[in-house]
Structure formats: structure tokens, C-alpha cells
Amino acid sequence: MTLFHRFLSVSIVCGTVMTFSQPGVAQDPEAPRATERPHELTIHDDTRVDEYYWLRERENPDVVSYLNQENEYTKSKMADVQQLEAELFEQTVARIKQTDQTVPYTDRGFVYYRRYEEGKQYPIYCRKPLDDPAAPETIMLDVNAMAEGKSYCSVTGLSVSPDSKLLAYGVDFVGRRKYNIRFKNLETGEMLEDEIIDVSGSVEWADDNVTVFYVNKDPQTLRAYQVKRHRLGTPVENDGLVYEEPDEEFNCRIYKSRSREYIFIYCGQTLSTEVRMLRADEPHSYSHVFHPREPNHEYNIDHIDGEFYIRSNLDAPNFRLFKVSGLQPEREAWEDVVPHRDDVFLSDFDLFDDFVVISERKDALPLLRIRPRSGGADTYLPFDEPAYVVRSTPTPEPTTNWLRFNYTSMTTPNSVFEYNMVTGEKKLWKQEEVLGGFRPENYRTERQWATSRDGTKIPVSLVYHKDTPLDGTAPCLEYGYGSYGSSMPPAFNSTRLNLLDRGFVFAIAHIRGGQELGRKWYEDGKLYNKKNTFTDFIDVGRFLIDNKYADPGRLYARGGSAGGLLMGAVVNMAPDLYHGVIADVPFVDVVTTMLDDTIPLTTFEYDEWGNPHERGYYDYMLSYSPYDNVAAIEYPHLLVTTGLHDSQVQYWEPAKWVARMRKTRTGDQLLLLKTNMDAGHGGASGRFDRFKEVAFRHAFLLKLAGLTE
């Protein structure tokens, strides 16, 4: 790989930039060195030697010792900015309105909301009777009390029974995304004895108020594959099997229809889905298939007022919307509601008694389209910022004419609106309050289009302080993901102000592999097109430099999970472009992971990355897999993070990657591995603990940029 000229020193006003060293300089002798225990991996007559394969042994004391050594090393290398890190944390917390409450919603005679209290890490879930606003609140769940004495606590899937008397929820105290389902009597405050162990985090209630459906997980692969039925008060080991998914590439989840008449079992993998259904008032009936699975056919359904609505990509790459009456409708009976369009991606829909709200995406911007179910003209809600996020968030009761939606941009804090679909009236219920003197008018947001090396136009969302000069002297952080068809939202983030107020430009590269520009944008960044994701990101980085958004010596990059794979590939392909890179929970050992079907996520991601048991995919994936392409070159300064209990990307991938880079790379740039020994893929669970992690990342960037004063 050819190296381009490096910036050996850069003079700036606020401090000294950490510089690249000359090739061949000895690395830090104090850095940890993992023991090499060569392990051969052979397939397709090709043998790879993995000297750090043993780091997979989670219970091995040597593994834990190595991770702790890396943490101590990271701490020592960041000691000079420890005070800055503390200041960043305090500044972040100072912007948060600590005692706060969400906009309430009504459901079956109660008003529900979530609130936070000063100094407390976790939410408190509450409700009041709708007909008595002066009545004292009922605390359904105080997560702070549940988290006492725990290093990690994640609560999800809160669901109230149809008679409003019982609460079900999932709790995870490890971070492995294996939840225990518990039940609480909301009238007495007592916990039921029932507990369902190591499953997905939510249930759906049958109409009888005593039967719940849940999804069981494979204990090793964590694949959600069994739907079971539990009757409260009976032994869990007697729970009936409703459906078991035999295909290892498929995952299951359950949800209830908008009409609340049906429980849907959604079975899906990357390119194919199938929905089964049973009536909520007949919990012991057999589930039946709405439409049989077919290769390359993805669909999802909902139901209201006797009609099923189907979002489908059948002969429609950007999806279309159908409707049909009847329980087992033939495909020929499906009626077009919204036909396919080449330039508009239909991403979702929400049903009301009188309206269908359709979420679309055009020119990399989201749209909300309101269609009367009885016929008539459609309405598009207007939004005028150059880059923004809008998301329909309807309340549980479909009888209303008020559509609730969230709106945000990189300069507008999250805002909850309601729009009357009959009268056109719009009202703002709440906007996130940002303390500490924040004024939106002090910041600028832009949408630009970079040109890739193959001529493709790539959308780029930018935000910066109005006083930041756009003359090529500002440090810039470029963020990207580019996988699974996930579109990266240009949303507001108050923690980002730590960088913007210190002169950083922040850019989101909406690279191929997402779905910002429709299904083709996704298809052009997966399987044999995966390298487009990496080259797009690199070309956006060069665009930022060429158009004076970034100082050439202070361009930084960050991505997490599959975005961490992006970081790993980018630093191999363009090691001289970025001064520093943050790779969070990075998926970097692509080939070995995708060859191992005992690892969570592997089997049902073959259509995303390819199946390396096939020689063609093996060779292609091997050509970009970051771990397999570590070279004797100078890499940028690197901060790599992971969680010991990560269920999505196992901790050993980033650990092995760092170990191999320590052995192989040249130069003495920072190479830091920070492992959260008490958390998983999403990092810390408490809101303030998360801010500590953010402050650490920002201190790393500001240290590199010479902005520590």
C-alpha cells in the first residue's frame, strides 16, 4: 500500500497538534503485548494463522488480565487530559435538565409518562387515571431502585395488560441482551412470582389478561427463534410452543396489530420475511401464515377496521403499500394504496381509523405523507431545514385525528409535535430543553453533496458554530455507518456541543450501504459492492478537505459496530487521510466471524456480507477484513472501544485487532483499547455513565487536535 505525504507538524492557535512520527520509530515499550498462541484456520485450501485466537476465551483469567492491562495503559496515556475529560463531563451534565418528563400519552383510561429526577441515572415510569388529573401518580417502575447495587441495568418492553392491571417488562443486568421477563400488579404494587429467563425483552398480551407471548433465544447464538405462550401462575417449563423457526438465517419478533385484534409473529432475515398471525382473543389457537416467504420478498403488515395493510417490495425495490380484506388473502386480491416509485423510498406506515400516515424518503430527506383512508387528497407535512429527522410516533389509540411526530435537526433539539389530520392545526408539545446558554441561532447546518471516485453523489450533513471559519483551518469529525440499510439521522445531540463550541465541524457521510437514497443505495453498499461504503467515506473526507470544512492535518473519523468495520477498512485503505480515528465496538474480524455459525448474528447476516463458505465471498471479504489486512504501516491515532458482554460484536474482535496492530504497525501513534468490563454493545446503561464515555472520546479528539486549553 502506497503511503502519501504525512503532516509532521501543524501550528495552530490553541495548542500543539499531536503529530505523526517517522516510519520505523519504535513503539511504546510500555504498551501491553498479548501472548501469541498461533491457531490455524483453513478453508478453500487457504490457511490463515490467528495468533490471538485464544482471546475468545471469555472466562480465561489471562484474557481478563490482558483487557485490564489495556485499560490501565489507556488510562495512563490519557492522564494528561484527565482534567479536561472531567470538565467535558460536567459541561455535558450541566446542559441536561435533570428533572424532566416526557410528553404523556393516553391509553385505555390512563395517562402514561416517563420522568427523571435530579441526580438519578434511570427513568421512572408512571401513570395517572385520565378522568382524575389531580389523582396521585402510580409509579409503575422505578429503574433507579432496580439498578441499586448493579453495575449495569437495562429495562425494556414495558407492556400493560388489556385490563390495565398488570405490567410486564424485561430487565438485563449484564448487557448481553438476554432479558428476564417480570410481572407486576399495578393495583397492589406486588411482584408476581412468574419470571421468564434469558429471552427477548418484550411480551404481547392476549385479551384474557393472563396469557402472554414471548420469544425465546438460543443460549449460544442468541438467535430469537421460538415463540412461546405463558399463562400467569403456571410453571414456565410448561409453556406451550406456538412457533419455532427452523431456518438459522431467520430471526423472530412479535407485535400486536394497531387494531389489537391480532398478534403477529414476524420472521425475517436480510432479504426475506414471513408473517404469521393469531387472534388475540383466541390465545390457544394455531398461528397461520399471512403470506408465505419467498426469496427476495420482504413485507410487513398491520391491521385496522377489517383491513390488512402490507408494505412490500414485491416487484418494487423501493417498496409499495397494499391493502386487502380477509384473513388469508391471495396475493391477487391485494390493492395498491401507494405504488412503487423509483425516486421515493417507502420506509414505514402507521394506521388510524380515518388515515394512513406514510413515512417516505426522497433525496436523502424524510417525509410524512397523510392519506385519508376513505379517499381524498394526500397531505405532505412541510419541513424547511436543509437536513433534518422526522419520525411518526403515534399514540396507542387509533381513533384520534392527531398525529404525533418527533422532529429534530443538528441545530434543533428534539421536538414533539401533534398535527391535526382533519384541520391542519399543528402544535408543539415539548422541545428538549438545553441548559447552559444554548441558542440554536449560534449554529449552522448544511446539506452538501460529495462526488465519489465513480461519480456518485454522496449526501453529507454538516453542523458547526457560526463563528467557526470555513477556510480549511477547523478540525473536523466525520461520522459514518453504511450497513444494513440503516439511514444515519442528522439529529441534534447536546453532547456534540463540546466539540462545536471548541471549533470543530461535524459531518455525517451518508454513504452507500444505508438507505438514504432508496433501496439501490443499500444494494450498492453490500455483498460484492461493500467496498463502495469504504471508498465513499474516504471520498467524503477528501471533499471536506478540498472544500475547506476540514484542516488537512486535523480530520478525524468515527464509527461504531458495522461502522467500526468501516473505520478499520478506511485506515487500511487511506492511513494518511485521518489524524485520528475512533472505532467503537468494531466488527473487524469479518471472515472468522462469518465462518463461525455459533457466534450471535452470523447465520442471518449472510445476505449482508456474504457467506465465506463460498470461495468468491471468502476472497472478497478477506480483501477488506480489517484484522486480516493489518500491515506494517503508520496508522492514525486510534481509540478502540468494546464491552466485555457485547452480544453484537464480541469483545475479542477489537481486542485481537489492537493486539495485531501493536505487533505489526510502524510509528508510535496512540493506539488505545478501552473495554467496559460491565457492559455490552450499547455501553453503559445509566444516563450519566454514558456521558462519561462521551467525555472520554471527546477528550481524545481534543487532545489530538491541540485544543486542551
Q: Which residues participate in catalysis according to the annotation?
A: 561, 646, 681
Give every CB contact of residue 484 below 8 A, 6+ residues apart in sequence: 513, 562, 608
Which residue from 203, 132, 50 is spatially nearest to 653, judged by alpha carbons?
A: 50
Where does residue 581 rank: exposed (0-12), middle (13-18), buried (19+ CB within 10 A)?
Answer: buried
CA atoms 260, 265, 269, 272: torsion sign: negative
End-to-end CA distance of the chain: 37
d(CA 618, CA 620): 6
DSSP per-residue string spanning 106-138: EETTEEEEEEE-TT-SS-EEEEEETT-TTSPPE
Cell of 655: 481486542
**CA-to-CA distance for 24 and 3, rounded, in angstroms?**
13
Burial class (CB within 10 angstroms; exposed 0-12, middle 13-18, buried 19+) of 42 = exposed
Between CA 70 and CA 671 the distance in angstroms is 10
Residue 397: C-alpha distances to residues 140, 143, 185, 305 (Å): 20, 26, 23, 13
Where residue 466 falls (left for φ over 0; alpha for ψ -120 to 50; beta otherwise) is: alpha
Q: What is the tally of helices (H) and strands (E) in the chain?
A: 12, 39
Distance CA 616, CA 44 (A): 10
At residue 540, the 3 state secondary structure works out as helix
Residue type, 450: A
The DSSP element (H or E) to which 392 belongs, if any, is strand 389-392
Element (H, E) at 315: none
Between CA 668 and CA 675, with CA 674 as vertex, the angle to 5 degrees is 145
- Quote the CA–CA distance of 318 and 298 in Å, as a whole number: 11
Tell me the three state secondary structure of residue 465.
strand
